[in-house]
Amino acid sequence: MSILILAAGQGTRMRSSRPKVLQPLAGRPLLRHVVDCARQIDAADICVVYGHGGDQVQAAFAADGLRWALQAEQLGTGHAVMQAMPETADDNRVLVLFGDVPLLRPQTLERLLNECGADDLGVLTVDVSNPHGYGRIVRENGRVVRNVEEKDANDSERLIKEVNSGVMCAPARKFKAWLERLGNDNSQGEYYLTDVIAMAVADGTEVHGIKADSVEELMGINDRRQLAEAERALQRRLVGELMAAGVGFADPSRVDIRGTLRCGQDVFIDVNAVFEGDVVVGDNVVIETGNLIRDSRLGAGTVVHANCHIEQSEVGDECEIGPYARLRPGTKLAEQVKIGNFVEVKKSNIAHASKVNHLSYIGDAEIGSGVNVGAGTITCNYDGANKHRTTIGDGAFIGSGVNLVAPVEVGSGATIGAGSTVSKPVPADQLTVARARQMTVPGWKKPQKTS
């Protein structure tokens, strides 16, 4: 099997410096969706035909081990396939896909391949209510005999509802013979790949028109409006799969999954939640409204209150996050940790049942179990050139408004009085207070505005 993915188009209607096949859909390039689909077919060879913005496209997929074929001039789909055929083995079966048709499912392609004989031509089609602009599939006595493009169709052909997706499969040897005979005598002056249908019929090759289950699966992306429509269609599919697996959503239309979301049992997700990258959510997790969770793990029974930002973090079981909390990369929370409102944690480990409840910043820290961090406490981890770590032992109590000037260590069971600035080791099980002496300045007057 050789899979040829046509991805050379400029996509001028996108009005973007980014090649069309690199436009993002659910957080990944359009072409990534097609390549990932192709990977699930048993293919020995995947070739991408590239053109406009080729350097960007190749760079984005440099690690994928793909074969590349340059289409320097965009002279139609038939011409695009011609560029890939010289290095395609004659004995291979060829499947043609499109880099701007990202919603195709592997199951549909498997059905096309299985229902079409190995020596026949298979064409993926679909019935649409408004076929304007599409190539029509012309059948005689139920058999596919040709494809006719909109601009070349007569009045009766324009009434046909079955249209051609462009996705097709056939033996490479036959494809090469048909492509050699392909002409561009049409209104566009292009080499239409779909013209091989009539050639196959003339050669006595059976043509199978296999209908896809839905129009959405064959959506092509040419402009921003179609990209947005495809985004919603894909989100419906992804959320539908999760609901079928038992995940609860307050409103399935107001959740975005831009990557992979894996959920345990009895998970509930409220509106306007966004998941990016690889996210794993344990059993009985509740995610309230307005959260962004990226490349993170949430343990069973955890509650994420409204409007939190969690990135590259690991959250243990039965934790409580937010509202309005931020977990930055490198954060690891053990079980039953509480991170409260307007708290930011970065590159820190917080052990069992510790609490950072209000308006605090914890960066580059190692916090033991059962620690209470008071409101407004910060770890002063940056000296202007380097980052330094703060270590807080089990059971310590840090009062409100404390500055911990790293590197510094707080012993187990220690208490630090509110308003202290601590830059030296704090002994275990002792009260430490570090405040300047309070004083009142006689005769001091408030500054006045100058006119």
Looking at the structure, tell me whether residues 273 and 156 fall in a common domain: no
The 10 Å Cβ neighbour count of residue 364 is 17
**Residue 335: inside a domain:** yes
CB 426 within 8 A of CB 442: no
Over the chain (451 residues), the average pLDDT of each successive run of 10 is 94 91 96 96 94 93 96 92 96 97 96 94 94 90 88 90 94 96 83 91 94 92 95 97 97 96 98 98 98 98 98 98 98 98 98 97 98 98 94 98 97 96 96 88 86 70
Q: Are 67 and 53 part of one and the same domain?
A: yes
Same domain, 39 and 156: yes
Write out the two tokens for 276. 């990016």
Of 191, 218, 245, which residue constitutes the final position of a domain?
A: 218
Q: What pTM did the predictor assign?
A: 0.89
Are 346 and 202 in a shared domain? no
Cis peptide upstream of residue 407 (ω within 30 degrees of 0) = yes
Give a yes or no: residue 100 inside a domain: yes
Binding-site residue positions: 6-9, 20, 71, 76-77, 100, 135, 149, 164, 222, 328, 346, 361, 372, 375, 381-382, 400, 418, 435
Domain span holding position 311: 224-432
CATH number, domain at 178? Answer: 3.90.550.10
Neighbours of 389 (CB within 10 A): 16
pLDDT of res. 444: 84
- Look at residue 449 and tell me if it is in a domain: no
Instruction: Tell me if 444 is assigned to some domain.
Output: no
E strand or H helix at 79, and its extent? helix 77-84
Q: Are residues 201 and 267 in the same domain?
A: no
445 lies in some domain: no
Among 218, 233, 252, where does a domain finish?
218
Report the alpha-carbon angle 255-316-296, nearest 5: 40
Q: CA 408, CA 418: separation in Å to the nearest integer?
A: 17
**276 and 246 in a common domain:** yes
Dmax over CA atoms of the chain, in Å, equals 107
Query: Do both 212 and 234 map to the same domain?
Result: no
Instruction: Please identify every residue annotated as catalytic.
Output: 358
Report if residue 441 sits inside a domain: no
Sheet holding 268-269, edge to edge: 248-249, 268-269, 286-287, 303-304, 320-321, 338-341, 355-358, 372-373, 397-398, 415-416, 431-432
User: Which of 189, 218, 247 is the C-terminal boundary of a domain?
Assistant: 218
Whether residue 229 is found in the same domain as residue 196: no
Q: Three-state secondary structure along 236-269?
A: HHHHHHHHHCCCEECCHHHEEEEEEEEECCCCEE
pLDDT of residue 121: 96
pLDDT at 189: 80
Range 327-330, long-range pairs (CB < 8 A, 24+ positions): 327/296
Based on the fold, state whether residues 143 and 232 are members of the same structural domain.
Answer: no
Q: Are residues 70 and 195 in the same domain?
A: yes
pLDDT of residue 9: 86
Residue at 447 is within a domain: no
Residues 17 and 127 in one domain: yes
Polymer length in residues for the chain = 451
Binding residues for acetyl-CoA: 375, 381-382, 400, 418, 435
Beta pairing class for 28-29 and 24-25: antiparallel
- Secondary structure of residue 345 in the 3-state scheme: strand
In a domain, 146, yes or no: yes
| CA dihedral sign of residues 23, 27, 28, 33 | negative
Which residues sit in the known binding site for UDP-N-acetyl-alpha-D-glucosamine? 6-9, 20, 71, 76-77, 135, 149, 164, 222, 328, 346, 361, 372
Torsion of CA 316, 320, 322, 328, to 10 degrees: -10
**Total tally of structural domains belonging to the chain:** 2
**What pLDDT shows up at residue 321?**
98
Same domain, 209 and 230: no
| CATH code at position 401 | 2.160.10.10
Q: Rounded to whole angstroms, what are the CA distances from 282 to 249, 286, 288, 301, 419?
A: 15, 10, 15, 7, 39
